[in-house]
Structure 1
């Protein structure tokens, strides 16, 4: 499902790809990569920005909006959930 924020990111990526990548990843290696790709050719910068937007949309579908954090290289990780209660050891006893 495409959200309004994704549409805005796509429009920003069409105009200036490094700005869209900066919104997604902050000041990171991905931003530097996108700046270099945009300087080498406008189309490679677009492809990289659209790929990152696509990965962000996948993370939103998988973890819900705001339930993830960006860890770099187009990868996302869910925020830590409450750990399930651990079962006490049996110490040789059987069920």
Structure 2
């Protein structure tokens, strides 16, 4: 796993916007992930993992 911690990945699975918020704050990544999570939970998870690990 890249530089993501285990806790960030678990939070990204449970509450995707929270996992991204802890790493990037209220930046663009957070808002994209929030919108994806609102439109569908699975896309939010996929994006959060992609952002945190990639």
TM-score of Structure 1 vs Structure 2, range by shorter chain: 0.7 to 0.9
Shift of 1:14: 1.2
Aligned residue number for residue 74 of structure 1: none
2:29 and 2:2 map into 1 onto residues whose CA distance is: 23
Richer in helix (by share): 2
Q: TM-score, normalised by structure 1?
A: 0.52
Instruction: Quote the offset at 1:35 in angstroms.
Output: 0.4
Which residue does 1:13 correspond to in 2?
A: 12
* Bigger relative CO (Cα 8 Å, ≥ 6 apart): 2
Alignment root-mean-square deviation, CA: 1.7
- Distance in 1 between the 2:24 and 2:2 partners? 19
1:29-66: CA deviations, max 9, x gaps? Answer: 111100000000000000110001112xxxxxxxxxxx
Unaligned residue ranges in structure 1 (runs of 5+): 56-95
The count of aligned residue pairs is 54
**Quick check: which has more Rg, 1 or 2?**
1
